[in-house]
A = this chain, B = another copy of it.
Amino acid sequence: MSLEKIEVLLREKGYKLTEQRRLILAILQSNSVPHTAQEVYDLVKLAYSNINFSTIYRNLELMSELGIVDKMNLKSGVSHFEINDREEHHHHVICKGCGETKAIDFCPYKMINNEELDKLGFSATEHKFEIYGFCNKCNAK
């Protein structure tokens, strides 16, 4: 999603595009991998030393409600946030050594047959698929 599109989306709902929001988005857009709130905070702080943690959290939360970012609970229990660029969602491979993540294109949800869910009387809204392991760097050690 382009910054312009995001701005429109915010405006529509009565939200404003502040400097802080711009910076948070810039971070997320520059490297499209999942970041923790802490990581976003540290990086934003370089350009805007007065930034506060609650601003980071409030905005990541807001943007994830608006669908601008994806919020995900990886193994650790700490939330990770990633910009929602592509029109197709994707899943990840996560290194337990260094934390590096890579996108994978395979989506298991497309494989599942809806009868199985119907049988359970369940209407699905979302799903999560992640593979954990070690990247080649961490494997070598």
A interface residues with partner B (beta carbon < 8 Å)? 73-77, 79, 93, 95-96, 102, 104-106, 108-109, 111-112, 116-117, 120-136, 139
A128 to chain B, nearest CB (A): 5
Stoichiometry, copies per complex: 2
B contact residues around A129 at 8 Å (CB): 108, 127-129
Q: Is the CB of B75 within 8 A of A77?
A: no
Q: Is the CB of A102 within 8 A of B131?
A: no
Q: Identify whether the interface residues of A are mostly helix, strand, loop, or mixed.
A: strand
Q: Is the CB of B106 within 8 A of A116?
A: yes
Cα–Cα distance between A112 and B73 once the two chains are bound (Å): 22
Cα–Cα distance between A16 and B121 once the two chains are bound (Å): 43
Q: Is the CB of A109 within 8 A of B131?
A: yes
Q: Is the CB of A132 within 8 A of B125?
A: yes
Q: Is the CB of A131 within 8 A of B106?
A: no
Q: Is the CB of A127 within 8 A of B124?
A: no
Closest chain B residue to A96 by CB distance?
B125
B contact residues around A133 at 8 Å (CB): 117, 122-126
